[in-house]
Structure 1
Amino acid sequence: MSYVDGYILPLPAENVEAYRAMAQCAGQIWIEHGALSYKECLGDDLSSEWSSDSFPKAVNASANEKVIFAFIEFESREHRDEVNTKVYEDPRLEECGDMDEPPFDFKRMAYGGFQVLVNLKK
């Protein structure tokens, strides 16, 4: 089974396009270095009758913030480590955006690495 790095973060609504450009740039670098897939998703329907918690609540999103749910797929954890090392050493990553003033608050981002438990595709 593959391995996934996943994260959620709050994003000020006015920064969606800046974030999209940053993610598009960074995602291309991840793919070039071997990631199997790279997805950045903008929250659209985040209310749930099945859960007492929600994505906006998990990242303490305010009324003027959107929620990003993203994941990068790799062959394995070892492959993830190899790809991420190459990505973080790639000088082009600095061209993807100003990390001194990013379009979102890193402190409110939730991140983790996950072993894929079920992987169904059509």
Structure 2
Amino acid sequence: MSYIDGFVLAVPTANKQKFIDHANEGDSVFIEYGATRVLECWGDDVPDGKQTDFRRAVQGKDDETIVFSWIEWPDKPTRDAGMKKMMEDPRMDPEKNPMPFDGKRMIYGGFAPIVELGSKA
């Protein structure tokens, strides 16, 4: 079964294209190091909750859009090795490919799937 890294972040809405450019440059490196798929999803229907929600989780501001992203890996050892290589890769240097959002407010984690369903279509 696969392994998933998940991310939630707040991106200034005005930086949408900068975010896309940043993701296109950096996400291809994840694939190079073993990820099988990377998805970057621009918030389209992200409701405010009564107790908590995605926006509050990352201290999103009115002029920011919530982004939900994940990286699929074939397994945790591939992910661990790939992430180690990513941290050492000069292409991922924030000076060369600066994040167009406040990375300190990003939340992320690694997850082991326990249920996986899919269609045969």
TM-score normalized by the length of structure 2: 0.87
Aligned equivalent of 1:113: 110
**2:101 aligned partner:** 104
Structure 1 residue matching 2:61: 3-state secondary structure: coil
Structure 2 runs not aligned, ≥5 long: none
CA distance in 1, matches of 2:96, 2:33: 16
Q: How does 1:3-82 map to 2 (within 5 A)?
A: 3-47=3-47, 52-82=51-81
CA distance, structure 2, for counterparts of residue 74 and residue 96 of structure 1:
25
Alpha-carbon distance, 1:38 to partner? 0.6
Q: Deviations over 1:4-28 (max 9, x none)?
A: 1111011111111111111111111
The share of aligned pairs that are identical, in percent, is 38
CA RMSD, 1 decimal: 1.9
After TM superposition, give the deviation of residue 48 of structure 1 in Å.
6.7
Gaps of 5+ in 1: none
SS for the counterpart of 1:116 is coil
* Number of equivalent positions: 118
Looking at structure 1, the residues matched to 22 and 83 of structure 2 have their Cα atoms a distance apart, in angstroms, of 17
**Is the 1:26–1:96 Cα contact (8 Å) retained in structure 2?**
no
1:35-89 residue CA offsets vs partner (Å, 9 max, x unmatched): 011111111001177x742211211111110011111111222111111122222
C-alpha separation in 2, matches of 1:96 and 1:8: 23
Quote the Cα distance in structure 1 between the aligned partners of 2:48 and 2:65: 16
Runs of 4+ deviating beyond 4 Å:
none
Cα offset for 1:34? Answer: 1.0
C-alpha spacing 1:71/1:96, structure 2 compared with 1 (3 Å): farther
Q: Give the AA of the match of 2:80.
A: D
CA distance in 1, matches of 2:38, 2:65: 19
